Amino acid sequence: MQAVEVEPEQLGTFYRYSVYGISLRSQFSLALPAPGNASLQDIELREGSRALFEEAARGATLKPSPTAWYRHAHLPGGSTYLRWEGVAEFLVSPDGLHLTCGWLGENSHESFQVYLLGQALSFALVKSGFEPLHSTCVVINGSAVAFLGSSGFGKSSLAACFLGAGYPLLTDDLLLLQGTRKGYCGYPGPPRIKLFPRVARRFLGANLSGVPMNSGTQKLVLPLLENQTHRTTAPLKAIYVLNSPRKVSRQQRISITPLSPREAFLALLRNTFNRLLVDPERLHRQFEAMTRLVAKVPVATISYPRVLDSLPEVREAILSDM
């Protein structure tokens, strides 16, 4: 696995990792690379006891997330409690710099990392001032190309098709962008992709080494090889917003339609990674960030039939469009 720094401390051992440009100081061993010289932010991950979470969430009313996959509560003082039943629970500090984690079931460590490094970390990122997008991103000739869409729209499947053709993955599911003098750059996410077995076999080969995301799905968490991932930042060249699979028939042709800045702005808002932190300060920051982004990066919708064998044609359409 990757080499990481280990710093023994009175309270336990901490590992250091890098993901999304963030330096993580973690009590858990994670499948992530070591940090580089610079990071956008330092976030600490600690293990919490069941008693700690019970005390923190005492009296709080847990509300389901928009997708109902987890429940959450905003606690007095500004912390946020998150709970995936039978999987894990998390406590995010008000400033987003500390994330306390706990296991709730027998799910795999890989499964735990999916929820930790996705939704849970997104709360920490937003609280500490970032605006992650719900996006899977590949790198084409050194430039990042982002696919946006709700869960189930096929972002990862489309990315897998690119992977199968030799284009590396920048990130799956969560994309962190930062402005540069010339535009924006995307930061690498965890070196893994989440795919259903059929899609993984079709584009990544028959030798799968993934584990199920949780006990309720066949979707696999698949570690990627070094040559399958892009481990540094990449300048963002384009954003493609995937149309809903329900709005496309199997016979429909592939179409790419550029969006006006206003349409693009609304599309980015719909595809924010975190929709539960809606205080005015966050909304204002998000508004400014998304209006700046659409002014500099082209955004288009892409509509295509969700037929596995058609994905190579979709890939070629995107490559031609670029």
Partner 1 sequence: MPEKRVSLDQIATIDDDNVVSRDLEGEAVILNLKSGTYFGLNEVGTRIWALIPEHRSLRKVFEALKKEYEVSPEALENDLLELVDQLQAKGLVSLAQPDGRNKA
**Binding footprint of partner 1 on the chain (CB under 8 A):** 260-262, 265-266, 269, 278, 280, 283-284, 287-288, 291, 294-295
Output the smallest distance, CB 161 to partner 1, in A: 32
Output the smallest distance, CB 258 to partner 1, in A: 12
- In terms of CB distance, is 263 or 313 closer to partner 1? 263
CA-to-CA dists, residue 112 to 104, 109, 147, 197, 308, angstroms:
10, 5, 24, 19, 29
- In terms of CB distance, is 152 or 261 closer to partner 1? 261
Contact 114, 174 (CB under 8 A): no
- In terms of CB distance, is 139 or 277 closer to partner 1? 277
DSSP label at 232? S
Q: For residues 243 and 313, what is the distance between their CA atoms, to the nearest angstrom? A: 16
Output the smallest distance, CB 286 to partner 1, in A: 9
Residues 6+ apart with CB under 8 A from 262: none
- In terms of CB distance, is 142 or 280 closer to partner 1? 280
Neighbours of 159 (CB within 10 A): 30
Output the smallest distance, CB 281 to partner 1, in A: 9
Q: For residues 175 and 29, what is the distance between their CA atoms, to the nearest angstrom? A: 22
Contact 218, 208 (CB under 8 A): no
Handedness of CA 229, 231, 237, 241 (dihedral sign): positive
- In terms of CB distance, is 109 or 282 closer to partner 1? 282
Output the smallest distance, CB 262 to partner 1, in A: 4
Output the smallest distance, CB 292 to partner 1, in A: 9
- In terms of CB distance, is 98 or 282 closer to partner 1? 282
Output the smallest distance, CB 100 to partner 1, in A: 28
Output the smallest distance, CB 142 to partner 1, in A: 28
Phi, psi angle pair for 238, to nearest 5°? -160, 155
Of 24, 75, 74, 79, nearest to 46 (Cα)? 24
- In terms of CB distance, is 74 or 109 closer to partner 1? 74
- In terms of CB distance, is 51 or 278 closer to partner 1? 278
Q: Reduce the secondary structure of 245-314 to three states and give it as a string.
A: HHHCCCCCCCEEEECCHHHHHHHHHHCECCCCCCCHHHHHHHHHHHHHHHHHCCEEEEECCCCHHHHHHH
Of 164, 175, 169, nearest to 191 (Cα)? 169
Please, which residues bridge with residue 17 across strands? 24
